[in-house]
């Protein structure tokens, strides 16, 4: 059975630019971490219902893969999709830590969408898949497009490839489960600041290597200080030269060229 890679990502920078309903608008540079990925594949099953075989702490209904299935079924009405999931389960070899700011759940959902599109010959183009993925989670479109590096804006639905050589990245995830909604709430309450047009252009146009050489962890990620205020134990895991991904709890740093 063919295996599909679902890679992790880091946020080279993450700036909160506003709100749209319950969602936050962002400007961020997403970069894939190729050496860290989950593996997904279909397997024949006899059990009733939607089956996900993997190390997950959530229920099937809460899993992003199941949400992707429901969104894809709603968008296509595909009887072949229903039949596939009646006869097959989806197995996930988990390597990306959960609650880590590395996009594991979003990557799994995007990979599942692409698997179904390929296996069932649904004929959806990447833009259509990304639109379906956006209904599952804000980070899913980035993984659908599959760019090594991209500027992501809006509420995650605007994904623009950034032409640069991807960095070799080292990640480290302390055993701290962070609540993303709580971190965003603390940001709004105590840390909100406007992003100037000049700063917007600097972040959007500067390559990642330069950004990481010029910025501190606080400067690069608007959510680092709110996360530290809520989870002070993060300070014990922070090291100079490392950066904070998403709402955490993972840190990353660029590795020097071999």
Show binding-site residues: 97-107
| 7 DSSP β-pair partners | 37
Cβ-proximal residues to 137 (8 Å cutoff; 6+ apart), any chain: 64, 67, 105, 106, 109, 156
By DSSP bridging, strand 88-93 and strand 251-254 are unpaired
Q: Which of 9, 15, 67, 114 is catalytic?
A: 9
Q: Which of 38, 108, 139, 222 is catalytic?
A: 139
- Assess whether 139 carries a catalytic annotation: yes
**Interatomic CA distance for residues 191 and 222, integer angstroms:** 8
**Interatomic CA distance for residues 247 and 224, integer angstroms:** 7
- Assess whether 9 carries a catalytic annotation: yes
Residue 133, burial from CB neighbour count under 10 angstroms (0-12, 13-18, 19+)? buried
Both structure tokens of 190: 């105590």
Q: Which residues are catalytic?
A: 9, 139
């Amino acid at each position: 059975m063919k295996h599909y890679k679902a890679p992790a990502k880091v946020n080279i920078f993450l700036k909160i630019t506003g709100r749209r309903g319950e969602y936050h608008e962002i400007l961020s540079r997403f970069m894939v971490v190729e050496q860290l990925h989950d593996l997904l594949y279909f397997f024949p099953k006899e059990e009733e219902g939607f089956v996900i075989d993997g190390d997950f702490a959530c229920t099937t209904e809460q899993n992003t893969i199941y949400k992707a299935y429901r969104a894809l079924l709603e968008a296509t009405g595909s009887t072949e999709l229903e039949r596939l999931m009646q006869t097959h389960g989806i197995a996930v070899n988990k390597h990306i830590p959960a609650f880590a700011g590395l996009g594991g759940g979003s990557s799994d959902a995007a990979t599942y969408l692409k698997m179904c599109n390929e296996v069932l010959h649904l004929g959806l183009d990447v833009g259509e898949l990304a639109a379906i993925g956006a209904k599952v989670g804000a980070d899913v479109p980035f993984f659908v497009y599959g760019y090594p590096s991209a500027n992501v804006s809006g509420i995650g639905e605007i994904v623009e490839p950034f032409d640069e050589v991807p960095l070799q990245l080292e990640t480290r995830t302390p055993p701290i489960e962070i609540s993303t909604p709580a971190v965003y709430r603390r940001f709004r309450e105590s840390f909100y600041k406007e992003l100037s047009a000049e700063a917007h252009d600097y972040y959007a146009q500067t390559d990642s290597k330069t950004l990481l050489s010029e910025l501190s962890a606080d400067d690069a990620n608007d959510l680092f200080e709110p996360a530290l205020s809520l989870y002070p134990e993060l300070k014990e895991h922070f090291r100079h030269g490392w950066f904070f991904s998403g709402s955490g709890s993972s840190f990353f740093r660029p590795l020097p060229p071999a």
